[in-house]
Amino acid sequence: MLFNLEELKGLEGYFQSSGQLGILFDIRTHIFRYHSLSSEPSYAAIIVFVCFAVLNDLVKIKKSLIWYGIIVLYMLLSFKSSMGFLILGVWFISQITFSKKYFIILGVIIFTGILLFFFTSIGGKSIDRLREIVFLLFSFKGSFMENLNLIDSSAHARIGPMIYYLQNMDFLYYKTYFGYGAGMSTPYFSTYIYPEAWNTDMIINTGFIPAFLYDFGIIGVSLVFRFIWLLVKFRNAFFKIIFIIILLNSNFNTQLFWFTITIIALSSYYLNKGDSGLALEKID
C-alpha cells in the first residue's frame, strides 16, 4: 500500500503528482523522482550532500566514507535533480589544492567534463535540463525568462521572482529597507509566477532571496547575512557556496535552512574541539 504508485495525487490539471514516502511523478515525461522525507528533490539533494560534506570534515579516516559516498551518489541519481549534480561539482572543486600539478589535472578533468556535457547525452534528464540552460545563456532569441520557463520551470521559479523584484525595487521607498511584512511576498510573487492560475490554491513560496528581502527589507537581509557569515567564514569554500544556493532555494523558516545552520554549527564545535579528542576518528 505504501508503494502504490497509482495513488499519486496532486492538484487537478497540474503536471506533477505526489505520493507517499517522497515520490513525485511528472505526467508530461512519465518520470518518477524521489525526495525522501524532504519536500522536493532539490531540497533532498542539498540536505544529503551537506551531511556528506560535514562528515568529510569530521572523519579523519577517509576510507570510512567510501560506502557512504556511494550511497549519496545513488541518492542523487534517484532524486534526478540537476541541483544535486551542480553541488557535487562544486564540492569536488572545493577539495582540490591548486598546486601546479593539481591545476593541470583539474583542467584536464574539467575539459573532459565540458566535452561530455555538451556533446553527449550522458547523465539523463537532469543533465539534459542543465545543458539546455547553459545553451540558453548563449542564446539571444526571445525573452530569456520565458525560454527558461519552457526549458526548466523549476529554475525559473527560483530565478524569475528575484530578477522581477530587483527590476521593480524603489530605493526611495522606505519599505524597500524595512520590508512589507511577514508573508506578504507569497501573494506578490504568486501573481508573477501564476498570472492566469486556473486554481486559487496555486501559490509559490520563493527562496530567502527574494521572499525575505520583500518581507523584511534590505536591513533584515543584511542582519541574516551577517549571522551566516559568522558561521561559515572559517569553513571550506563549499559551505559558503552552499549557503548561496540555499538562499535561492529556501526561505528563513524552512527545514532546509535551519537543518543546514544546525549541522554546520554543531560540526564547527567539534572541529574546534578536535585536539581534545572530540573529533570523530571513524565510522563504525
Give the whole-angstrom CA distance, residue 190 versus residue 12: 18
Average pLDDT over residues 29-46: 76
Instruction: Report the C-alpha gap between 60 and 142 in whole angstroms.
Output: 52
The predicted model gives 11-35 an average pLDDT of 59
Least-confidence region, from 3-17, 84-98, 123-137: 3-17
> What residue ranges do the domains of the chain occupy?
1-34, 35-275
Q: Please give the Cα distance from 178 to 171 (Å, whole number).
A: 11
* pLDDT at 36 > cutoff 80: no
Percent of the chain with pLDDT over 90: 18
**Which tops the pLDDT comparison, 12 or 169?**
169
User: Comparing 240 with 167, which gets the higher pLDDT?
Assistant: 240
Is a pLDDT exceeding 60 seen at residue 14? no
Residue 82 pLDDT > 60, yes or no?
yes
Residue 204 Rama label (left phi>0; alpha psi -120 to 50; beta): beta
Whether 43 contacts 249, CB under 8 Å:
yes
DSSP state of 252: T
pLDDT value for 226: 94
Measure the CA–CA gap between 195 and 146, rounded to whole angstroms.
Answer: 13
Tell me the helix, strand and coil percentages in the chain, rounded to 5: 65, 5, 30
Least confident of 31-35, 127-131, 266-270: 127-131
Indicate the average pLDDT of the chain.
75
Distance separating alpha carbons of residues 134 and 98, to the nearest angstrom: 26
From the list 165, 183, 164, the residue with the least C-alpha distance to 173 is 165
Q: What is the pLDDT of residue 222?
A: 95
How confident is the model at residue 68, as a pLDDT? 86
pLDDT at 8: 47
Its pTM stands at 0.71
Q: Give tens-digit pLDDT for 249-275.
A: 888 888 889 999 999 999 988 888 765
Q: Which residue has the higher pLDDT, 137 or 119?
A: 137
For residue 13, is it left (φ>0), alpha (ψ between -120 and 50) or beta?
left
Residue 47 has pLDDT above 80, yes or no: yes
Q: Which residue, among 186, 187, 228, has the nearest Cα to 206 in the 3D structure?
A: 186
From the list 227, 235, 225, the residue with the least C-alpha distance to 268 is 235
Question: Averaged over 131-141, what is the pLDDT?
Answer: 62
Overall average pLDDT of the 192-219 stretch: 79
What is the DSSP track for 186-242?
HHHHHHHH-TT-SSTT------HHHHHHHHHHHHHHHHHHHHHHHHHTTS-HHHHHH
pLDDT greater than 80 at residue 207: yes
- For residue 51, give every residue at least 6 positions away whose Cβ sits within 8 Å of its Cβ, in sequence order, or none: 263
Higher-confidence position of 41 and 49:
49
Grid cell locating 42: 532539490
Instruction: Count each helix (H run) and each strand (E run) in the chain, helices first.
Output: 12, 3
Asked if pLDDT for residue 124 goes beyond 50, the answer is: yes
**Residue 6, pLDDT score:** 44
Task: Order the strands of the 31-34 sheet from edge to edge.
Answer: 16-19, 23-26, 31-34
The pLDDT tens digits of the residues spanning 211-249 come to 899 999 999 999 999 999 999 988 888 999 999 889 888
Q: How far apart are CA 31 and CA 6, in angstroms?
A: 13
The predicted model gives 138-160 an average pLDDT of 66
Q: What is the mean pLDDT of residues 138-152?
A: 63
